[in-house]
């Protein structure tokens, strides 16, 4: 499903290296290295993450899922590849301050997110998902559950 996931680990290393080289001080100073941890407070180190963090704290998933439970793939390779790519993307964006606001989820991360929903709720929604017409044409959970991670956009 994800060509990148099966892609070469070398690329990961290169990207990670580039990320570290380019943005080491940025990462350090902005406490961005904590990005590699699973602690939600690590995400909230960046003020641009404050709103989602606060939303998550109030949200129904607070007690059961942290940022990475939703935003990082649940298989080992996918998880670390994702962390590498996201880490690179993050430090670049933060250093250059060139990102679109409001922040928009990337397509790849949206797919990972869908996988996370199914990781936890797969049995419950099995019958609904099974009526699928094609593998690349899913019922997108966030079509209805818009605010599930960190509160509705209101």
Partner 1 sequence: LVNIQERKAEARDPYLKLVRVGDDTTDPTAWGVNWPRQYDSYRRTVDTTYTRYGGSDGTPARSRLEADPWLVRMFAGYAFALDFRERRGHAYMLDDQRQTRRITERPQPGACLHCHASVIPTYRRLGDGDVRAGFEALSRMSYGDAYAEVVETGSLNPVPEGDTQGFAHEPGAHPVSCVDCHDPQTMAVRVSRPGFLAGIAALAAGDAPVPHLASIERWRRGGRDAPYDANADASRQEMRSFVCGQCHVEYYCGPKTTLFYPWSQGLRVEQIEAVYEETRFPDGEPFYDWQHGETGARVFKAQHPEFETWSQGVHARAGVACADCHMPYVREGALKVSDHWVRSPLLNVARACQPCHPVAEAELQARVAAIQDRTHALMDRSAAALVDMLDAIAAAKAAGAGDAALAPALALQRKAQWRLDFVNAENSMGFHADQESARILGEAIDYARQAVSANQTRAAIPPASNAEKQNAER
Out of 26, 34, 45, 66, the only residue in the binding site for partner 1 (CB under 8 A) is: 26
Closest residue by Cα to residue 116 from 145, 93, 85: 145
Tell me how far, at minimum, the Cβ of 100 lies from ligand HEC, in Å.
Answer: 6
- Among partner 1, ligand HEC, none, partner that 149 touches (CB below 5 to 8 angstroms by kind): ligand HEC
What are φ and ψ of residue 125, in 5° steps?
A: -100, 10
Q: Of 59 and 74, which CB lies nearer to partner 1 in the complex structure?
A: 59
If binding is defined by CB under 8 A, does position 124 make contact with partner 1?
yes
If binding is defined by CB under 8 A, does position 134 make contact with partner 1?
yes
CA angle 140, 142, 55 (to 5 degrees): 160
Could you give the C-alpha distances from 101 to 18, 37, 55, 89, 104, in angstroms and in order?
25, 25, 17, 15, 7
Out of 12, 16, 19, 30, the only residue in the binding site for partner 1 (CB under 8 A) is: 30
């Amino acid at each position: 499903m994800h060509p990148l996931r099966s892609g070469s680990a070398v690329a990961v290393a290169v990207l990670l290296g580039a990320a570290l080289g380019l943005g080491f001080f940025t990462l350090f100073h902005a406490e961005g290295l904590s990005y590699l941890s699973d602690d939600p407070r690590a995400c909230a180190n960046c003020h641009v993450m404050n709103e989602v963090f606060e939303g998550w704290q109030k949200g129904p998933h607070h007690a059961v899922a942290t940022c990475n439970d939703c935003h990082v793939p649940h298989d080992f390779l996918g998880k670390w590849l994702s962390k590498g790519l996201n880490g690179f993307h993050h430090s670049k964006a933060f250093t250059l301050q060139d990102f679109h606001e409001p922040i928009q989820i990337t397509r790849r991360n949206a797919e990972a997110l869908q996988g996370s929903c199914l990781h936890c709720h797969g049995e419950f929604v099995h019958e609904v998902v099974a009526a699928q017409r094609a593998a690349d044409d899913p019922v997108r959970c966030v079509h209805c559950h818009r605010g599930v991670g960190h509160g509705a956009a209101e």
